[in-house]
Amino acid sequence: MTTSWTKSLCLAAVLGTAFSAQATELNVEELTTGLSHPWGMAFLPDGKMVITERAGNIRIFDKTAGLSAPLKNVPEVAAVNQGGLLGITADPDFANNQTIYFCYSKPGEGGSSSSVSKAKIAGDSLTDVETIFSASPLVDNGFHFGCRVAFDNEGHLFITLGDRYKYMKEAQNTDNHLGTVVRIWPDGSVPEDNPFTKGDAPQVYSYGHRNVQGLTVHPQTGEVWAMEHGPKGGDEVNLLGKGNNYGWPLITYGIDYSGDIISDKTEMEGMEQPVVYWDPSIAPSGMVFYSGDKFPEWKGDLLVGSLKFTHLRHIDMEGGKPGEQTEYLRDRNERIRDVIEGPDGYLYLLTDTPEGKLLKVSPE
């Protein structure tokens, strides 16, 4: 199937940014269907993929054997509203240790928390399952878990979190994990140079976030980038910095769903500005900087998924600054939940529906 570009209908508010029509068309191959609200995926060194389903499953996709049954021995998840089994990544040394890391809403007394476990894949089951991080405090609702996970080039594990919706003010409190991005070592220990090691949440790396559902490491610079849902307007792409405050909810480019003003400020001293923000919201989820050779004109550019407007968005990036943006695949009318680049240089997408799909995207 060939799908062409669609000019954007929403405003991407960045300096010097405009939308443009690009002539390139995309080929889309449906690799597998019947995934129940797939949320995250990662390639393994042998070319297989691990894929999470929000209800609580981890599956393996093999281009030859197809989609596996759910792996056994996956921890219990609180699959309520936005909660469930969410982000996943493979250990950088997976070829030797067969270890994966996954983020999920873990049930506990009085609520649930965004937690990360590590485990080894052994045949059709997980073994040596160990929880290495749980966000504090537990909250009794099913919203704003964040839960993307990624390794940086130094071997730190980054975990994105959310403000759990009704606790937005806590995103300014570095003594808990609400509305933060945390950084730990793979065994769960805290890096000595984390910015808040003397506080009650020493894992915190940055704060002032709302609901971070995009996370990627730039393949050339090693910088860690994150993308978060705003309220009604104000979705953001941010370049993360140690100890930085990204402002939520004291500054925002969005308003409450009711139309009420959350803050009348979009800037404050000591708070970071987004590299990109969208108003109205596109509900972004999943992001990757392209580094392959299959789309040579996209090298170094940012690709993100949109849930609300059902498209893959290409953002031209020059020197870390955004330029023109273009939507692709919108005519498929599928919520794009995750976007990654495969080792073959093609793009792979997950569509978030009860009958979700794994898509392979290549140039026409």
Which residue has tokens 């508010």? 13
- The end-to-end CA distance of the chain, in Å, is 9
Which residue has tokens 């898509």? 359
How far, in Å, CA of 332 to CA of 121, rounded?
34
**Cβ neighbour number for residue 263 with a 10 Å cutoff:** 15
Angle at 327 between CA 151 and CA 255, to 5 degrees: 75
Q: Check 144, 177, 218, 229 and give the catalytic one.
A: 144
How far, in Å, CA of 236 to CA of 244, rounded?
15
Q: Is 56 in contact with 83 (CB distance < 8 Å)?
A: no
β-bridge mates for residue 311, sequence order: 306
Tokens standing for 319? 């020197």
How far, in Å, CA of 7 to CA of 120, rounded?
44
Closest residue by Cα to residue 237 from 72, 67, 13: 13
Closest residue by Cα to residue 332 from 314, 298, 356: 356
**Cβ neighbour number for residue 79 with a 10 Å cutoff:** 21
For this structure, is 37 an active site residue? no
Closest residue by Cα to residue 48 from 84, 102, 98: 98
Residues marked active site are found at 144
